[in-house]
Structure 1
Amino acid sequence: MNATIFKIGICTQKSNLLHFLLTTFLCLIITSCDQTKSTQDQSKLTTESAKPDKGIQKLYNVDLTVPPPISEFVRRIFEDSNGNLWLGTNGDGVLRYDGKSLSRFSLEEGFDGLAIRAIVQDDDKNIWFGTERGLVKYDGQKFTSYNQDDGLAGENIWSLKLDKNGELWIGTIGGVSRYDGTTFTNVPLPDTEIDTQRGVSSSENVSSIFQDSEGILWFGKSGGAFMYDLGKKQITKHFSEKDGLANNGVNDILEDRNGNMWFATHHRGVSRYDGESFTNYTKDGIIKGDEVWSLFEDSKGNIWFPAENVGVYKYDGNTFTLYNEENGPGTNAVQTIYETRDGRIWFGGYKGLYRLEGDRIIEIFETGPWD
């Protein structure tokens, strides 16, 4: 018999005798179940909380033969130059699939972090991870950690970007840092109000960094989107709701192949800026879903983004296509989207990793299917 934990809660005070009798009774039941194997399917047993005044959980049938997810939450997906697929989780460290097997790296393996929000690779093939504990570099052999003692603006990292000069930009809860390979330099940004609904207790948190085709860096934070000129080393423009942006809480920024700037916001969905004006697709009722965490453009020029509790949208330049629970599991809580070099589209979010197969979305477990 598989081990099963029964949670017992006594909501009202009972005598020691009653407590003893109840415990003894349950022990006898468990022992009996262990000695007498039931002919019923033991793989379909789990628990659900009963009414609070009952204090004991009831049982119902769920198929436990389904493998567990790779992680409770896959927050970032990245394919390195060797074709390894890296998965940044929201509490289980980082995972790597090398085409044959899945490896896990966390504190025990020397990886200093549990929640991974950003992954990039530099020209020297070092892989950089932004975690809740700082910056981690992997050179193919070992992990090296960097934190505020090394000069970082903050240790809780939300975004990473390698610019066209090969310098690494780090968005933290304490602001922006630039790393030239030797030294960290902190870059001041205008102060903005704290957006408590985003679950971040700092107005300095930089959730997105993007470099456009003209070399301008864009920073997304609670006060909107900020343009940073590398030559002038200063902020040259700021977009907010006053300028037509759907919402000041910017989670991600993207430039499409036509030069349009896209913004994923935390409270009003998606905006697109064509250089003159904003189109607010969610706010204007064209699509649904206010909370959007990421943006991705695939090799065909389609723009992908998840909408919390709605699904995943694909925009081909003319039409929005929605992928939801009818197409497969996991679509209502996707947080990141990625295309590997073989043209496959992957989704990471609550309850694990998923992949688009035709018009269906399938879940990827530790055992696959990877191919």
Structure 2
Amino acid sequence: MKTLTLMYFPVLILALVIFSCSEQSKNHLAEQNDAAPKIVQANLQGDHNIARHLGWQPEKTNKNLQVGEYVRKIFQDTKGHLWFGTNNQGIAHYDGDSLTYLSAEEGLSGMPITGIMEDKAGNMWFTTHRGVSMYDGASFRNFTAKDGLADDETWSIFQDSKGMIWVGTARGLCRFNGEKFEVFSLPSAGTSWVWSIAEDKKGNLWFGTNGEGVYMYDGETITNINKQNGLSDNSIVSILEDAKGNIWFSSMYGGVSRYDGGSFTRFFENEIGSDEVWALCEDKAGNIWFSSEGFGVYRYDGANLANFGQKDGLNIKVVQAIFEDKAGQLWVGGAGGLYRLERKTFVNITRGILNRDKC
């Protein structure tokens, strides 16, 4: 495992260490404005769909400051550790004290990271474009098509309430039998990418696909739900059940829709900048957060819709991850790095800021 350490240059850096952590924390917002890291071109080889839709322009950067130039997934495990899935730097793991990276050198199957999950035994799982990786804290076990996956290009991973691990691939859905993966056939006209997997409070599983809407599996019957049933779009990227039991769907071309158990409603039509919505999140206050391609993120409090973008410090046009941690801190990741909402302003979270967080 590679561990980041700070390299102290003589004389100049020694002068800086005399400042306390509290002084650094007080001034770090000003430091960000004066020397904010810029965006660099992410490695999108093999990432066909995202590459086709990217509209941002890369800039020159000192990439060593960034946790990741492109942060695609954010997850917190049962120990409180944060895991950041990047596009070309593997997994960044922050245990509250230090930041470490896991990549191909440590045995990770591939990049970019498209999914992160912790199983009931405490193992971490990652989906990549070269298969699935299971990490037990010391070493990786990798799974590919040779181990039963429908395709090596994997997009989503989820463990249901019964302990079954599901993986969505570029050629359909698979589940893990404890030793290898098996294809779980969906009644589709073709073989579709499975972008998202979720379970509702009733135990129904929902699978979001690229072009065929969603499939709901109640343990016996599989039901296809698409635009004809009221879903806003047939390319479903993210699925979220809120605290009230409503199920939200974000899509590639149709924005956001909500299912209340009886019918579907399309939300925010003509109210948001773009109908390409990749990320969904509900915070502890019950607000629904979602991304909008090229327009940052939006917050919906049940009555009002608020937008957060460059004016609020969020310099990401392609947002792919929104996550609230156990402490109530909201994180956003995408093409432009990792950001955290601090009061009413988004701050670019660099490796140096994470180091100060432990003070």
In structure 2, relative to structure 1, the CA distance for the partners of 1:279 and 1:153 (3 Å cut) is same
Map of 1:19 onto structure 2 = none
Map of 1:266 onto structure 2 = 252
Map of 1:313 onto structure 2 = 298
Q: Is residue 2:225 matched to residue 1:239?
A: yes
Deviation string 1:220-246 (CA, Å, 9 cap, x unpaired) is 00210111122x1x41x2221112211
Q: Is residue 2:54 matched to residue 1:69?
A: no
Equivalent residue for 2:243, pick from 257, 265, 270:
257
Runs of 4 or more above 3 Å deviation: 62-68
Judge conservation of contact 2:106–2:139 (CA < 8 Å) in 1: no
Judge conservation of contact 1:241–1:247 (CA < 8 Å) in 2: yes
Per the normalisation by structure 1, the TM-score is 0.76
Distance of 1:86 and 1:300 partners within structure 2: 23
Distance of 1:242 and 1:92 partners within structure 2: 41
Deviation at 1:192, TM superposition (A): 4.5
Deviation at 1:145, TM superposition (A): 0.5
Q: Is residue 2:192 matched to residue 1:204?
A: yes
Structure 1 alignment gaps of length 5 or more: 1-42, 47-61, 194-202
Deviation at 1:85, TM superposition (A): 1.1
Judge conservation of contact 2:308–2:314 (CA < 8 Å) in 1: no
Map of 2:138 onto structure 1 = 141
Judge conservation of contact 2:86–2:113 (CA < 8 Å) in 1: yes
SS of equivalent residue, structure 1 residue 242 = helix
In structure 2, relative to structure 1, the CA distance for the partners of 1:275 and 1:288 (3 Å cut) is farther
Distance of 1:65 and 1:104 partners within structure 2: 18
Q: Percent identity?
A: 42
Q: Is residue 2:282 matched to residue 1:294?
A: no
Q: C-alpha root-mean-square deviation of aligned residues, in Å? A: 2.1
Judge conservation of contact 1:69–1:351 (CA < 8 Å) in 2: no
Q: Which has the larger radius of gyration?
A: 1
Map of 2:217 onto structure 1 = 228
Equivalent residue for 1:322, pick from 284, 300, 307:
307
Map of 1:360 onto structure 2 = 345
Deviation string 1:261-288 (CA, Å, 9 cap, x unpaired) is 1110101211112123222124x32333
Judge conservation of contact 2:126–2:134 (CA < 8 Å) in 1: yes
SS of equivalent residue, structure 2 residue 146 = helix
Residues 64-143 of structure 1 mapped to structure 2, 5 A cutoff: 68-143=65-140
SS of equivalent residue, structure 2 residue 68 = coil
Aligned length: 299
Map of 2:266 onto structure 1 = 280
Map of 2:188 onto structure 1 = 191
Structure 2 alignment gaps of length 5 or more: 1-34, 39-58
In structure 2, relative to structure 1, the CA distance for the partners of 1:305 and 1:192 (3 Å cut) is farther
Distance of 2:294 and 2:66 partners within structure 1: 19
Distance of 1:219 and 1:288 partners within structure 2: 26
Per the normalisation by structure 2, the TM-score is 0.79
Distance of 1:300 and 1:309 partners within structure 2: 26
In structure 2, relative to structure 1, the CA distance for the partners of 1:126 and 1:302 (3 Å cut) is same
SS of equivalent residue, structure 2 residue 317 = helix
Judge conservation of contact 1:312–1:332 (CA < 8 Å) in 2: no
Distance of 1:367 and 1:162 partners within structure 2: 34
Deviation at 1:81, TM superposition (A): 1.7
Which structure exhibits the higher relative contact order, with contacts defined as CA atoms closer than 8 Å and separated by 6 or more residues?
Answer: 2
Distance of 2:74 and 2:131 partners within structure 1: 19
Deviation string 1:339-358 (CA, Å, 9 cap, x unpaired) is 11111000110121000011
Judge conservation of contact 1:253–1:261 (CA < 8 Å) in 2: yes
Distance of 1:114 and 1:286 partners within structure 2: 35
In structure 2, relative to structure 1, the CA distance for the partners of 1:179 and 1:343 (3 Å cut) is same
Q: Which amino acid aligns with 1:367?
A: G
Q: Which amino acid aligns with 1:280?
A: R
Deviation string 1:318-343 (CA, Å, 9 cap, x unpaired) is 22221111101324221101111111
Distance of 1:277 and 1:287 partners within structure 2: 22
Distance of 1:266 and 1:176 partners within structure 2: 19
Deviation string 1:63-82 (CA, Å, 9 cap, x unpaired) is 97896422221000111122
Distance of 1:254 and 1:321 partners within structure 2: 19
Judge conservation of contact 2:134–2:142 (CA < 8 Å) in 1: yes
Q: Which amino acid aligns with 1:274?
A: D
